[in-house]
A and B are shown apart, each in its own frame.
Chain A
Amino acid sequence: MTTPVVQARGIVKRYGHVTAIDHSDFELRPGEVLAVIGDNGAGKSSIVKAICGATIPDEGEILIEGKPIKFNSPIEAREMGIEIVYQNLALSPALSIADNMFTGREIRKEGWMGKYLRLLDKPAMEDFARDKLTELGLMTVQSIKQPVETLSGGQRQGVAVARAAAFASKFIIMDEPTAALGVKESRKVLELIQDVRSRGIPIILISHNMPHVFEVADRIHIHRLGKRLCTIDPKDYTMSDAVAFMTGAKEPPAQDAG
């Protein structure tokens, strides 16, 4: 079997008396879309946060491409090529699309102007941003220099996804990417997810939307009471099965190695 992109074993995270993650495992395989579902409070966000460095687990180990790793912040995870699309998108409304795509990793001009005067290479950043948006079929915006606050909700989501897709070399985490979108915009985001997967970048998709999950996911990680209950193949089960497992109405299937 190929080495998983992410493998987490026996992760524990406690907040005082509350155990948010209770000896949970997690696995993301190369090139797949892994959906993470679970009831509110099941701890699905917590486990994903532990993988990207947003929370530091108390116990357990995380292997990225087979190598054990300990992140102290999401910035460290990002430096390794792990990108996160947050539910609130983490965009700065008054800054331009290009500025937003490059926050925290701006390109400087070559030569002394960049080295000593730290001059930004705005044309290069704008070209790159335009290329990336065009690649994903999002270049319907008027100008790459327009502030993000002038975009529609769907366009903003597009910018956030394009930013993640442009810089992710390991994998992308998407937190409820379709939660705030209309039917058409959701469709576009699902297409984006498939587009990104076709480039070989695996995706962790956190979602409550069963139809969306069953449409794009290769495997579904069902989280219940702080740990992984099981992983299922959406082709073998129905949505109601998944909901039944998730809520404890039905016993999970016996697990294979997955």
Chain B
Amino acid sequence: MSDTPQPAPKGQEFEQTLDQSDTKVASFERKHHTLLERIQHVLHNNPTLVPVIVLVISLIAFGLIAGGKFFSAFNLSLILQQVSIIGILAAAQSLIIITAGIDLSVAAIMVLMSVVMGNLAVFAGVPSGIAILIGLAGGVGAGAMNGWFITKVKLPPFITTLGTWSIFYALLLWLSGAQSIRGQDIDTEAPFLKFFGASFNLGGARITLSAILMILVFVVLWYMLNKTAWGRHVYAIGDDKEAADLSGIRTDRTLLSVYGLAGFVCALAGWASIGRVGSISPQSFYEGNLDSITAVVIGGISLFGGRGSIMGALFGALIVGVFRSGLRLSGVDVLWQVFAIGWLIIIAVAIDQWIRRVSA
């Protein structure tokens, strides 16, 4: 504003010269934008571009190093299958991180709810469909419990979910008696629990339903975040919670819904994990919390909230999967896979910081 000349000179005496004032917008002598600056600018406007580029480059690189066996339809579909569970968890984690929170309990909710579903369907004789519904509702409840502590008791998300991580983990050990539910028992008693383990062939690729579920979860959440008022509110809260409050968003209610929804998505991942793993093991996915955060961070979603697209987390999960698969097929020891993922995280956050410093 204010670069149009004022009509009638009014106001204070010292302002009388304002209408003759220079109407040029502040502009500075500047040299041509360097290529790097222009790249920085484009990336600032399209934060999801970084993980997409990294994904494409790593696909090409591993294709060259590991050759045909990496680029086979079978191997690529295997990567999709392997990342599906962590991918769904990363979707839930993204929701939380966009609100400038963090959820350390996602994997614990997931495994706890898979144990609930398994116990009910396999041992208690509850019909599978109902057992699954109870498990999904339990996920909403567990997420809402996190949300309640964060919004009503005003605890920081990190502390809340650090606590509930242990609580949920202890509960799942208690419910399962630290025993796995064997695959055969699930097959005979409640095969529907393994629904997402089913797969079909598509030109040499083996597509599992869990991979399709993952993509579906991302598409639905992307729509909710970008095309609905609720989604705009989620971003506004992550951006500046106080401003969101003042501009009329019921922030506590929205945050509660975010945690509840994230819990639901975790429980959904729990159901899918039964099909993916083939059994229900209380010890599975112990590092799922951190893996989901890894995918979100590599996907370019800011840990400070309010910035980044949820699709970034999908690409982040795929990048991790591609690295693991590519390094394994290149005959690299597992420990170096972990090493590489560690560097990926640090580089991803460094790039994120660099993009944020863009001069508009």
Closest chain-A Cβ to B248's Cβ sits at a distance in Å of: 3
Cα A104 to Cα B253 with chains together (Å): 13
User: What is the 8 Å Cβ interface bit string for chain B, positions 233-250, against chain A (1 contact, 0 not)?
Assistant: 101100110111111111
User: What is the 8 Å Cβ interface bit string for chain A, positions 105-125, against chain B (1 contact, 0 not)?
Assistant: 110100000000111100000
Cα A158 to Cα B244 with chains together (Å): 18
Option from A89, A120, A138, A140 in Cβ contact (under 8 Å) with B227: A120
Who on chain B is nearest to A93 by CB? B239
**CB-based contact A187/B2 at 8 Å:** yes
**CB-based contact A118/B12 at 8 Å:** no
**CB-based contact A93/B18 at 8 Å:** no
**Residues 186-206 (chain B) with a chain A CB within 8 angstroms:** none
CB neighbours (8 Å) of A215 from chain B are 10-12
CB neighbours (8 Å) of B227 from chain A are 117-120
CB neighbours (8 Å) of A93 from chain B are 239-240
**CB-based contact B248/A92 at 8 Å:** no
CB neighbours (8 Å) of A137 from chain B are 1, 4
State whether the Cβ of B228 lies closer than 8 Å to any Cβ in chain A: yes
Cα A207 to Cα B296 with chains together (Å): 45
State whether the Cβ of B29 lies closer than 8 Å to any Cβ in chain A: no
State whether the Cβ of A154 lies closer than 8 Å to any Cβ in chain B: yes
CB neighbours (8 Å) of A91 from chain B are 240, 243, 247
**CB-based contact A104/B249 at 8 Å:** yes
CB neighbours (8 Å) of B2 from chain A are 154, 184-185, 187-188
Who on chain A is nearest to B25 by CB? A140
Who on chain A is nearest to B228 by CB? A118
Cα A140 to Cα B1 with chains together (Å): 6
**CB-based contact B236/A95 at 8 Å:** yes
Which size class do A's interface residues fall under?
35 or more
Which size class do B's interface residues fall under?
35 or more
**CB-based contact B247/A90 at 8 Å:** yes
Cα A93 to Cα B235 with chains together (Å): 10
Option from B12, B240, B248 in Cβ contact (under 8 Å) with A78: B248
Closest chain-A Cβ to B5's Cβ sits at a distance in Å of: 11
State whether the Cβ of B232 lies closer than 8 Å to any Cβ in chain A: yes
Closest chain-A Cβ to B170's Cβ sits at a distance in Å of: 38
Cα A93 to Cα B302 with chains together (Å): 14
CB neighbours (8 Å) of B4 from chain A are 137, 140
CB neighbours (8 Å) of A185 from chain B are 1-2
**Residues 20-71 (chain B) with a chain A CB within 8 angstroms:** 21
CB neighbours (8 Å) of A140 from chain B are 1, 3-4
CB neighbours (8 Å) of B233 from chain A are 103-104
**CB-based contact A183/B230 at 8 Å:** no
Cα A99 to Cα B228 with chains together (Å): 11
**CB-based contact A92/B235 at 8 Å:** yes
Who on chain A is nearest to B4 by CB? A137
Cα A100 to Cα B230 with chains together (Å): 14
**CB-based contact A103/B235 at 8 Å:** no
Which are the 10 A-B pairs with shortest beta-carbon distances?
A104-B248, A90-B246, A106-B229, A92-B236, A92-B239, A103-B247, A90-B243, A118-B228, A184-B2, A188-B2
A to B CB contacts below 8 Å, 20 in the list = A91-B243, A94-B235, A94-B239, A94-B307, A99-B232, A103-B247, A103-B249, A108-B229, A118-B229, A120-B232, A140-B3, A152-B1, A183-B14, A183-B15, A184-B21, A185-B1, A185-B2, A191-B6, A215-B10, A215-B12
5 more contacts with CB within 8 A, not counting A84-B246, A95-B236, A119-B228, are: A75-B250, A92-B236, A103-B248, A185-B2, A211-B12
